[in-house]
Amino acid sequence: MRVSDFDFDLPPERIALRPASPRESARLLLVKPEVLEDRTVGDLPSLLSAGDVLVFNDTKVIPASLHGHRFGRGGTEPKIAALLHMRLDASRWRAFVKPAKKLEQGDRIRFGGESRVCLLGEVLATVEAKGEMGEVTLAFDFSGPILDEAIAAVGEMPLPPYIAGKRTPDAQDQRDYQTMFAREEGAVAAPTAGLHFTPSLMRSLQEAGIAREFVTLHVGAGTFLPVKADDTQDHKMHAEWGTVSAQTIQRLKAAREKGGRIVAVGTTSLRLLESSGLEPFSGVTDIFITPGYCFRAVDLLITNFHLPKSTLFMLVSAFAGLERMKSAYAHAIAQNYRFYSYGDASLLFPAP
């Protein structure tokens, strides 16, 4: 399909810069094949049924945005910004860097060392390899837990560019840009549909007989990258690491056998469940879902509102139908819904 098929006009003032407070007060657009209904996230216990299972992504966002300087060549030391997006082993990460043209294989980068304290006040890395679109492999001088502590000390929370471009990230984002379920460190972007859930809402869902399960997909920086191809078949997704336990799969299958529905909370949970095919899974996935895809593992989807021409808008169009989603988004814009990571949500039923 043409990428232009997934375009729509979005007024910039519809981009949310802070989450709703309380979280469950965020608006929720119910999208059924023939129905659009304005609700709130707090209504979920009455919109779902006893026996349904919510599947959350329990990944935890790390402060993966690093700033430093190239050094060791002599002359000037250009500033380097790096966004870590996939851990390779105890000491190596793949990262997107700017400006990539200032770096060559073997270059040394000093991150931190200015206003933050981290061991000696900095963390050093070597450019091990260069890839396409500004991607490099960084080999850090530290490894394991020491490297994790170093990154936490010198790094910043990697807010999406459409928020960071409008205001400076601050201490409040350390709390806001993390779900209540976050426990497995490794993501560089939050599974934002999960941001709407609070302990009180979870209690209400439990009282309504709605179960919960957890999977882990470490969301990578590729989620922020624009689609530059003209045709969807020419776009390559960046791989992300995820895991679904055998126990989780067993409980999900048992719920379905009893008539319950699997409700993915966010596109990250959906992509991982579809990658697994409802079988135990541990590894990387680069699944790219566009209209025509046959969903096997997920019955309903809770998700925020996404960018025009993004892979995520393509995914929701595959799930609920392209024309239906265009109508839903037009309704959301007209009714002043808030978009993107800190914005409102939708509950999508599959297309017939």
Asked if 234 and 316 sit in the same domain, the reply is: yes
Q: How many Cα atoms sit within 13 Å of 209 on the Cβ side?
A: 11
Asked if 113 and 228 sit in the same domain, the reply is: no
pLDDT tens for each residue of 81-113: 999 988 999 999 999 999 999 999 999 999 986
Radius of gyration over alpha carbons of the chain, in Å? 21
Query: What does 39-63 look like in DSSP terms, one character per residue?
Result: EEGGGHHHHS-TT-EEEEE-EEE--
Task: Please list, residue by residue across 106-137, b when 16 or more beta carbons sit within 10 angstroms of its beta carbon and e when fewer do.
Answer: ebbbbbbbeeeebeeebbbbbbbeeeeebbbb
Q: How many Cα atoms sit within 13 Å of 303 on the Cβ side?
A: 27
User: Tens place of pLDDT for every residue, the chain, 352 residues?
Assistant: 999 999 999 999 999 999 999 999 999 999 999 899 999 999 999 999 999 999 999 999 999 999 999 998 877 889 999 999 889 999 999 999 999 999 999 999 999 865 444 445 689 999 999 998 889 999 999 999 999 999 988 998 888 878 878 888 888 988 999 999 999 999 989 999 999 999 999 999 999 999 999 999 999 877 667 788 899 999 888 889 999 999 999 999 999 999 999 999 999 999 999 999 999 999 999 999 999 999 999 999 999 999 999 999 999 999 999 999 999 999 999 999 999 999 999 999 999 8
Which one, of 226, 190, 187, lies nearest residue 86 by Cα? 187
Asked if residues 313 and 340 have their Cβ atoms less than 8 Å apart, the reply is no
The residue count of the chain comes to: 352
Task: Examine residue 162 and state whether it is found in any structural domain, yes or no.
Answer: no
Task: Output the furthest CA–CA distance in the chain (Å, rounded).
Answer: 69
pLDDT tens for each residue of 260-281: 999 999 999 999 999 999 999 9
Helices 267-276 and 311-320, packing angle to 10 deg:
70
Per-residue model confidence (pLDDT) at position 117: 43
Asked if residues 308 and 7 have their Cβ atoms less than 8 Å apart, the reply is yes
The CA-atom distances, in angstroms, between 152 and each of 51, 119, 158, 343 are 40, 12, 12, 26
Given 119, 154, 189, the domain boundary residue is: 154
Q: How far apart are CA 142 and CA 169, in angstroms?
A: 27
Query: What does 122-153 look like in DSSP terms, one character per residue?
Result: EEEEEEEEE-STTEEEEEESS-HHHHHHHHHH
CATH number at residue 239: 3.40.1780.10
- Domain residue limits at 83: 65-154
Helices 322-334 and 311-320, packing angle to 10 deg:
110
Per-residue model confidence (pLDDT) at position 171: 84
Per-residue model confidence (pLDDT) at position 89: 93
Q: What is the pTM of this model?
A: 0.90
Asked if 118 and 263 sit in the same domain, the reply is: no
Tokens of 330: 């037009």
Asked if 250 and 306 sit in the same domain, the reply is: yes
The CA-atom distances, in angstroms, between 134 and each of 95, 102, 177, 222 are 8, 10, 25, 12
What 177-181 contacts at long range (C-beta under 8 Å, 24+ apart), as own/partner pairs, is 177/61, 177/341, 178/60, 178/61, 179/56, 179/57, 179/58, 181/56, 181/57, 181/58, 181/214
- Coil vs helix vs strand at 35: strand
Per-residue model confidence (pLDDT) at position 238: 83
| DSSP conformation class of 236 | -
Per-residue model confidence (pLDDT) at position 224: 66
Asked if 214 and 150 sit in the same domain, the reply is: no
Total count of domains within the chain: 2
Asked if 85 and 188 sit in the same domain, the reply is: no
CATH number at residue 96: 2.40.10.240
Per-residue model confidence (pLDDT) at position 216: 98
> Would you call 167 exposed, middle or buried from its count of C-beta atoms within 10 A (0-12, 13-18, 19+)?
exposed
Asked if 141 and 278 sit in the same domain, the reply is: no
Per-residue model confidence (pLDDT) at position 161: 79
Per-residue model confidence (pLDDT) at position 114: 55
Residue 73: left if φ>0, alpha if ψ -120 to 50, beta else—which one?
Answer: alpha
Asked if 262 and 302 sit in the same domain, the reply is: yes
Asked if 209 and 313 sit in the same domain, the reply is: yes
Asked if 42 and 140 sit in the same domain, the reply is: no
Asked if 122 and 205 sit in the same domain, the reply is: no
Per-residue model confidence (pLDDT) at position 111: 95
Could you identify the residue written with the tokens 């061991």? 119
Strands laid side by side in the 27-32 sheet: 35-40, 27-32, 345-348, 300-304, 262-265, 53-57, 211-217, 240-244, 281-285
